[in-house]
Structure 1
Amino acid sequence: MADPDRHLVEKTVHRQELFRGHFLHAVREQVELPDGTHADREFILHPGAVMVIPLLDDGQVVLERQYRHPVGQVLIEFPAGKLDPGEDPQACARRELQEETGYSAREWARAGVLHPVISYSTEFIEIWFARGLTAGERRLDQGEFLDVFSATPRQLQDWCREGRVTDAKTLTGALWLQNVLAGAWQLDWRP
């Protein structure tokens, strides 16, 4: 069977590295468009990340407040972090939850994946839910400063509506949370 999207797909002709730093890797690719003409695409290569939606037994969710230098603001976010090379996404979710919040979870469920900036990055973020939380000691990375707090799902929804939550992954997480709690979207919980 023929690919129904073939008339939309661009083919890479040449790749040029523009910048390689500790965190960012930027490239420019010349692509052949579906009509045979060429165009340039500049984007960031990213190894991927995870985001955790931690559910407390009392119905609240665990959130963080962290200063994000590129936007010059302290933002409200779900715990998240970058995948290490070859790292299993669930292992990364467990690691990030523990390092950033101190919590460990008895059960996990993979919800889905999001692409936060499809126009200029290969980044994907796997969405994980965690429940049966046990508090422990945080192990923040060097140079990482954040506050951990809890809120009700209703408070989070209000903050999203009011524009207090503007982080794309957390907005997506709030959508997942709302639908899971309403019973519209099911999760497959595992130890």
Structure 2
Amino acid sequence: MSDEHLIEHTVSHQELLHGNFLHAFRDTVRLPDQSIATREFVVHPGAVMVIPLLHTPHGLRLVLERQYRYPVAQVMIEFPAGKLNPGEDPLLCAQRELMEETGYTARQWARAGILHPVISYSTEVIEIWFAQELTLGQRQLDVGEFLDVFTATPEQLMAWCRDGQVTDAKTLTGALWLQNMLAGHWPVSWQTLS
């Protein structure tokens, strides 16, 4: 089945902002009915999110973060995440972000999938990774980065998602992956790193 009846075609392309992190554009597009519209969007370098599984004698715990997010002016509960550097392998980025933000390194990794968190105005794609066999070391936060690291059970996370305490799109998607992976519905392939 063809999607041609849905596709918009670029007529013109205008740069609005080229910042340190984001690159914003306004395009003029021809719609499927041949009318003209504008589309404003942000080009994003891509990112990774890690779902760290901490196996303890008392059961499974998840490594999470609390971080103030300026655009929404509130402290958010999130899984560790960070943007890709140009040309960076997503697994290496996931390893780097986990260690920098939480201090943990992981011996086993499994790629879950991808998510597009804001398809209406951004090109951002986030790769989702699971990590386990964690070892705690020293955090190496970026300059100007402030966050708390804590653990919670999967049940606590699901309750926070249900009750609106977790509203971050990537963390909600991570919770969906986690729930289905733990139930055996969405299996992942683990790889052991030396």
What secondary structure does 2:38 align onto?
A: strand
Aligned to 1:11, which of 9, 12, 16? 9
CA offsets, 1:83-105, max 9 Å, x none?
Answer: 10111111110000000001111
In the alignment, the residues of structure 2 paired with residue 84 and residue 148 of structure 1 have an alpha-carbon distance, to the nearest angstrom, of 23
Kindly provide the amino acid, as one letter, of the partner of residue 39 in structure 1.
Answer: A
Q: Give the Å deviation of 1:36.
A: 2.0
Structure 2 residue identity aligned to 1:74: V
Partner of 2:53: 55
1:67 paired to 2:65: no
* One-letter code aligned to 1:37: S
Deviations 1:38-78 (A, max 9, x none): 21100111011000000011210100000111111111000
> What SS class does the counterpart of residue 166 from structure 1 fall into?
coil
- Report the AA paired with residue 128 of structure 1: W
Q: Output the TM-score relative to the length of structure 1.
A: 0.97
Unaligned stretches of 5+ residues in structure 1: none
Q: CA deviation at 1:167?
A: 0.5
- 2:182 corresponds to which residue? 181
- Structure 1 position 37, deviation (Å): 2.1
For 1:79 and 1:121, the matched residues in 2 are separated by 20
Measured after TM superposition, the shift of residue 35 of structure 1 is: 2.1
Q: What amino acid is the match of 1:31? A: V
Which SS does the other structure have where 2:180 is aligned? helix
Instruction: Count matched residues.
Output: 189
Secondary structure of 1:95 counterpart? helix
Cα offset for 1:141? 0.2
AA paired with 1:15?
H
CA deviation after TM superposition for structure 1 residue 5, in Å: 1.0
Dislocated runs of 4+, deviation >2 Å: none
Tell me by how many angstroms 1:31 deviates: 1.1
Q: Distance in 1 between matches of 2:44 and 2:50?
A: 19
Distance 2:33 2:112 in 1: 37
- Counterpart of 2:41? 43
Q: Which moved more, 1:19-28 or 1:126-135?
A: 19-28
Kindly provide the amino acid, as one letter, of the partner of residue 29 in structure 2. Answer: V
Q: Kindly indicate whether residue 104 of structure 2 is the aligned counterpart of residue 106 of structure 1.
A: no
Match in the other structure for 1:22 = 20
2:159 alignment partner AA? D
Q: What TM-score comes out, normalization by structure 2 length?
A: 0.95
The Cα shift of 1:20 comes to 1.2
Q: Which amino acid aligns with 1:131?
A: Q
Instruction: State whether structure 2 residue 147 is matched by structure 1 residue 159.
Output: no
Cα RMSD between the aligned structures? Answer: 0.9
Query: C-alpha displacement at 1:119, in angstroms?
Result: 0.5
Please give the secondary structure, in 2, of the residue aligned with 1:6.
Answer: coil
Structure 2: runs of 5 or more not aligned: none
- How far did residue 10 of structure 1 move? 1.0
Q: Which amino acid aligns with 2:152?
A: A
Q: 1 CA distance for matches of 2:37 and 2:173? A: 31
Percent of pairs identical after alignment?
A: 70
Residue in 2 that maps onto 1:127: 128
| 2:115 partner amino acid | L
Give the CA deviation at 1:118. Answer: 0.6
